[in-house]
Amino acid sequence: MHRKPRSTVGGVARGFGRGWFEADDLRRVLPFFSLAFALVAVITQPSSAVDLALTAVPVAAWSLWAFARNVPLAAVSVAIVVPVIVVQRSGELEPVMFNVSLLAFAAARWSRSLAAAASLGLLAAATPVLVAVVQDPMEVATGIWVVAILFIWVVGRAVARQERLVKELEGTRRQLAEQALLAERRRIARDVHDFVGHGLAAVMLQVTSARHVLRRDADAAEDALRSAEDVGRRSMHELRRTVTLLRSDDDAGVAAPVPSASEIPALVDQARAGGLAVELQTRGDLSRVPSGVGVALYRIAQETLANAARHAPRARTVLGLELADGRVVLRAETSGPVVAESASQRQRPHHGLIGMQERATALGGEFAAGPTPDGWRVRCELPMDDGEGR
């Protein structure tokens, strides 16, 4: 069975979101770095038992901060900086100072505000200066340590910014996916309403006519039933065409047949054959209408004629199409008696009008519909550029 490849954009965003910079993984690694610095210092530079014990204090502070989420970094920074300064008074155990670099990175990466990150970063950068003060003679390269700590702080800020960008990208991806899903649902709803709704409405109209004349005029009843059968067949054809269109992304070799503006005269003929008094007036070559615009025009005309047959079957409808100045205008006026709606029908949402409005808006056009003293009027104006490109 053929399956479409999964989108890599969402996978990349989710991969970043759950990756190295996600949160706790990197945070829990810091105590092990601190432990490594302490072991290197103890092994390479033997010192007094007190100093050796002090090297363990930053490791414990990092462990507390990394695994207890409610402990703020500012609270443990003193337990990191003070032991580092004290053990440097003899000029030995210099690898322990890498804990200050970790402090600069953690402050830049996890601080809730820039002020807090800058404050802890300055504390970390000032530590080599304080070490130089307590050492006699001074054996630490103060300038190199300050520059390195500030560089690590900048790296931490870059990592924090990267995480924010990844989160924003993930949020944007979700929003786009939700919008695409909503747009697809609306498109399917419009298509189902156009195909199934119109076909069933026309079939029910013919069946009702046949039922009314069944006992009085068998020939008229047979004609109505035959017309209902024809409408049902056309509706099945339209439904198959819609399914083909919806599946066209899965089956690349299947062309997706769609209606065009040139098929509107045939649509009017079908409505006239169903008993609707409708007249078509055209000005311009309908074959010049781009496919995307043509689909919208066809569906709007189809919905207009279906509404006329449903709500004003004994009225007269004039459907006009005019191409001029790079735009196409559809006008429809229904004049005559209108079937009164029940209270439940008036409260029901008008999905047909909503669908026509959405089709026109999607192509940058204008749509208006409303009652007139004699019936109902629909007007739609669309630009003649390609709706598919839009």
pLDDT tens, 122-172? 999 999 999 888 887 677 888 899 999 999 999 999 998 988 898 899 889
Confidence of residue 99 (pLDDT cuts 50, 70, 90): very high
pLDDT band at 17 (very low <50, low <70, confident <90, very high): very low
Banded pLDDT at 12 (limits 50, 70, 90): very low
Least confident among 157-166, 177-186, 210-219, 323-332 = 210-219
> Residue 93: pLDDT band by 50, 70, 90 thresholds?
confident
Q: What is the pLDDT of residues 36-81, one digit of tens each?
A: 998 988 888 877 888 888 889 999 999 999 888 788 898 899 999 9
Which of 20-29, 272-281, 304-313, 359-368 bottoms out in mean pLDDT, i.e. has the lowest?
20-29
Inform me whether the pLDDT recorded for 253 exceeds 50. no
Do residues 287 and 357 touch, judged by C-beta distance below 8 A?
A: no
Cα–Cα distance, 214 to 62 (Å, whole number): 91
Which pLDDT score is estimated for 145? 92
pLDDT for position 104: 93
Domains defined for the chain, CATH in brackets:
8-174 (no CATH), 259-390 (3.30.565.10)
- What would the pLDDT profile of 133-142 be if each residue is shown by its tens digit? 888 767 788 8
Band of pLDDT at residue 350, cut at 50, 70 and 90: low
The rounded distance, in Å, linking the Cα atoms of 299 and 234 is 15
> How many other CB atoms are found less than 10 A from the CB of residue 175?
10
Of the ranges 81-95, 162-176, 228-242, 304-318, which one carries the lowest mean pLDDT score? 228-242
Residues 344-351 have a mean pLDDT of: 57
Say if CB 231 and CB 201 are below 8 A apart: no
Q: State residue 245's pLDDT score.
A: 63
- CA torsion angle 322 380 183 303 (round to 10): -90
In the block, tokens 């940058």 appear at 364
Residue 168 CA to its chain's centroid (Å) = 13
Tokens of 181: 């899903």
CA nearest 31: which of 99, 77, 79, 97?
Answer: 99
Q: Quick one: average pLDDT of 295-324?
A: 87
What separation in angstroms does the CA of 110 have from each of 25, 139, 147?
13, 32, 21
Mean pLDDT for 329-339 is 87
Residue 377 · residue 370 · CB < 8 Å: yes
C-beta of residue 102 within 8 angstroms of C-beta of residue 30: yes
Question: What percent of the chain is modeled with pLDDT above 70?
Answer: 79
Most confident range (mean pLDDT) of 12-21, 131-140, 316-325 is 316-325
Rg of the chain's alpha carbons, rounded to an integer?
Answer: 38
Q: What share of the chain has pLDDT > 90, as a percent?
A: 26
Average pLDDT over residues 189-213: 68
pLDDT of residue 57: 92
Name the strand (E) or helix (H) holding 263: none
How many helices and strands in the chain, by DSSP H and E?
Answer: 13, 5
d(C-alpha 382, C-alpha 92), whole Å: 81
Please name the helix (run of DSSP H) or strand (run of DSSP E) that holds residue 6, with its range, or none.
none
DSSP string, 157-221: HHHHHHHHHHHHHHHHHHHHHHHHHHHHHHHHHHHHIIIIIHHHHHHHHHHHHHHHHTTT-HHHH
Fill in the amino acid letter for 258.
Answer: V
Give the residue-averaged pLDDT of 282-287: 89
Strand spans (E) along the chain: 277-283, 316-324, 327-335, 366-371, 375-383
Q: pLDDT digits over 170-185, tens only?
A: 889 888 888 888 877 7
Non-local (6+) Cβ contacts of 227 within 8 A are 206, 273, 274, 275
Instruction: Report, as an integer, the average pLDDT of 342-367.
Output: 75
Confidence of residue 315 (pLDDT cuts 50, 70, 90): confident
As to burial, measured by CB atoms within 10 angstroms (0-12 exposed, 13-18 middle, 19+ buried), residue 330 is buried
